[in-house]
């Protein structure tokens, strides 16, 4: 289920649809940084890859910010930072 939200990106009004958990994470990130959601969405749009849509760019922005907080509090591998040195974390397989 997605939660729609009206935002302004670069001054232009638009609508995004995010999962409630991601919208909550975005709100917490903005609160912690003292930014508005519009400011965060504009930053995400500026950082987006050429073929990436705005909502996907906002999801990436959320993940990068959550990793930054996590990595500042504990040891963290940099597998997600540099595609040239990708070392993906191993995920546990449940039920095998």
**Residues 58-95 pLDDT 10s:** 999 999 888 877 676 655 555 445 444 444 444 444 44
Query: In whole angstroms, what is the distance from residue 17 CA to residue 74 CA?
Result: 31
Report if residue 45 sits inside a domain.
yes
| Full-model pTM | 0.72
Report if residue 52 sits inside a domain.
yes
Structural domain that includes position 57: 3-85
CATH number of the domain enclosing 37: 1.10.1220
Considering its fold, how many domains does the chain have in total?
A: 1
SS3 47: helix
SS3 5: strand
- Given a contact cutoff of 8 angstroms between Cβ atoms, the answer to whether 58 and 48 are in contact is no
């Amino acid at each position: 289920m997605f939660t729609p939200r009206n935002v302004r990106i670069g001054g232009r009004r638009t609508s995004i649809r995010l999962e409630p958990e991601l919208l909550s994470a975005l709100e917490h990130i903005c609160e912690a940084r003292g930014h508005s959601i519009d400011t965060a969405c504009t930053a995400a749009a500026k950082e987006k890859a050429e073929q990436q849509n705005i909502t996907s760019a906002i999801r990436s922005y959320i993940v990068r910010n959550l990793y930054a907080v996590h990595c500042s509090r504990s040891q963290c591998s940099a597998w997600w930072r540099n595609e040239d040195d990708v070392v993906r974390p191993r995920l546990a397989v449940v039920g095998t």
